[in-house]
Structure 1
Amino acid sequence: MSSKTKVVLGGVALGLIALWLIPGWILTLVVLGVIAVPVAAYLLLDPSQRRRVRAQGRKRLGA
């Protein structure tokens, strides 16, 4: 099993434990934070940096 697969499985396990242990509204805040941080970081990039990020993503898709 690759290390990437182990990380994904660990994340899923932590997510399931969090669903069971953490109250609903706190879990909602955590999920929103996990989504909002990368979006905010992307929006803080310059237009040229955004182009480079998009080009990198397209390059990986074609590989």
Structure 2
Amino acid sequence: MENRIKELRQEKGISQEQMAEMLGVSRQTIISIEKGRYNPSLPLAIRIARCFDTNVEEVFQLEE
């Protein structure tokens, strides 16, 4: 699964640490998700999308 977290996070001026605090996860979790090494749970994916005022499909895309 691909994601646009890093791009969207940088557009909003949010650091990895700030995003981790907002979501209640570790900075390492944000790094792993951004690099595609970890796919978040559905509840976490929804919380991530809400951080960017968008929907899950705008943040995460299935690789084809």
| Larger Cα-atom Rg | 1
TM-score (norm 1): 0.24
TM-score (norm 2): 0.24
Return the structure number with greater strand share.
2
Return the structure number with greater helix share.
1
Higher relative contact order (CA 8 A, sep 6+): 2
